[in-house]
Amino acid sequence: MKLAALALLLCAAMALSLMVGFRHLTPEDYLAALTAFDPYDPAHVTLISIRLPRLLAGLIAGSALGVAGSVMQALTRNPLADPGLLGINAGAAFALILGTTLVGTTGAGALALMAFPGAALASVAVFTLGGGLRGDAGPVRLTLAGAALNALLLSLVAGVALVRQDALDVFRFWVAGSLTQADARPLAAMALAAGLGMALALALALKLEAMSLGATLARGLGTRPGQAQAGALVAVTLTTGAAVAVAGPIAFLGLMVPPLARRIAGHRLRGELVAAAMLGAAVLLLADTAGRLILAPGEVRAGIMVALVGGPVFIWIARRLRPGAVA
């Protein structure tokens, strides 16, 4: 019932994202743009090249970050865990700034393709540093390794950005997180990556729940913690990497969606994952749509809108935390 309401919310967010914007589109515009697309008609271009790609990017990045956040919080047993905790955003940022510096400035599409491998490499590094290869990467080890790599990569990013103006230019636009360049991003490939990651997360949900009882008990229940952990990290990497590639780093979304999803779906990880995917996508789409209106004709980036909402939600979550309980 609650999930149905959430699905309705997502549908409403999707519809708004197609309908609301600076340019007013008539019903005829929608029909004509879909049946007889004219690349010289601003109304058609608005729908096909701006609003539709933004909708798809919002769906991919929002649902991916919601799922990634839920997996991270289950894996680390920490209600304040964020997909960025594993250094994935920092890895993407580093790959991006290295790419811009070495190759020179390239288009938004090429930048997105650099972000994904950067994200993947960073999470492999965190897993290795955290002792994952020996099979004993506990939540604390992983968090510490992630924090260390984050700090290292972000200081390298800052170092390059300080001396290279062109890299800084690219970086400061990318870092806020936005759906405005959705049209230039590899949406199909990233939808596939995010979809694989989400499917993997669903498949691992029971094992992750068993692991929340502690590694020893989980082993007794027939789970191999090392394997489940590695699988969960692959899921987080695929989803977060895809999100970063289509929208840049969107702060707070992976942090605030899972606790809300738990309230809606209850404490079953599978249900939570489905709810988190829908809620994440709905929040990001609504944030993007609101960002088009607030300072029209200029736009507020979706990443900033999410952070504006996410800040207060984060405080609310932190205040409701009880030691030992999962929010």
Partner 1 sequence: MAPTTRSARLSRRAFLTAAAALAAPRLIAGSGLRFDGPFGETWLPAPARRVVSLGYTSQDPLLALGIVPLAIRNWYGDQPSATWRWARPLLQGATPPVITGEVSMERVAALAPDLIVGIGAGLSEPEVQLLTRIAPVLMQGADQPAFGSAWQDDTRRIGRATGREARAENAIADVEARFAAARARHPEWKGMTAAAAWHEGGQTGAFMGGDNRARFLSELGFRPTEALTRIAARDGFYTTLSPEDLSPLDADLVVWISAYESAPDMVRLPMRRTLAAHRTGREVFAGELIAGALSFGSVLSLPFALDALEADIAAATDGDPATVVSSAQSAGLTE
Binding footprint of partner 1, residue count (CB under 8 A):
36
**Count of Cβ atoms closer than 10 Å to residue 155 Cβ:** 10
Distance CA 226, CA 228 (A): 6
C-beta closer to partner 1: residue 49 or 78: 49
Shortest distance (Å) from residue 3 CB to partner 1: 33
Q: Given candidates 170, 218, 238, 242, which one binds partner 1 under the rule CB under 8 A?
A: 170
Q: Return the residues of window 9-48 that contact partner 1 according to CB under 8 A.
A: 21-23, 39-42, 45-46, 48
Q: Shortest approach of partner 1 to residue 247 CB, angstroms?
A: 11
**Cα dist from 79 to 42, 145, 175, 260, 266, whole Å:** 45, 18, 24, 11, 15
Cβ proximity of 245 and 92 under 8 Å: yes
User: Least CB distance from residue 15 to partner 1, whole Å?
Assistant: 17
Task: State in angstroms the smallest separation of the CB of 181 from partner 1.
Answer: 4
* Close Cβ partners of 311 (under 8 Å, ≥ 6 residues apart): 252
Give the nearest distance from C-beta 89 to partner 1 in angstroms: 18
Classify residue 22 by its DSSP letter. S
166 contributes a contact to partner 1 by CB under 8 A: yes
For 31, the token pair is 């029909």
Segment near partner 1 (CB under 8 A); pick from 58-66, 78-86, 178-186, 271-279: 178-186
* DSSP notation for 166-195: HHHHHHHHHHT--STTGGGS-HHHHHHHHH
Nearer to partner 1, 75 or 307 (CB): 307
SS3 readout for 105-167: CCCHHHHHHHHHHHHHHHHHHHHHHCCHHHCCCCHHHHHHHHHHHHHHHHHHHHHHHHHCHHH
Specify burial of residue 80 (Cβ count, 10 A radius: 0-12, 13-18, 19+): middle
Contact region with partner 1 (CB under 8 A), list: 65-73, 134-142, 150-158, 168-176: 168-176
Q: Which is nearer to partner 1, 50 or 238 (CB)?
A: 50
Site string for partner 1, 211-250 (x = CB under 8 A): ----------------------------------------
Q: Which of 7, 49, 186, 313 binds partner 1 (CB under 8 A)?
A: 49
For partner 1, which stretch binds (CB under 8 A), given 102-110, 134-142, 236-244, 260-268?
A: 102-110
Q: How far is the CB of 290 from partner 1 (least distance, A)?
A: 14
- Contact string (CB under 8 A) for partner 1, positions 182-201, x = contact: -xx-----------------
Q: What whole-number distance in Å separates Cα of residue 176 and Cα of residue 314?
A: 18
For 233, residues 6+ apart whose C-beta sits below 8 A from its C-beta are 75, 86, 123, 126, 127, 132
Q: Where are the alpha helices (DSSP H) in 77-107?
A: 88-103
Residues near partner 1, by CB under 8 A: 21-23, 39-42, 45-46, 48-51, 105-110, 165-166, 169-170, 172-174, 178, 180-181, 183-184, 292, 296-299
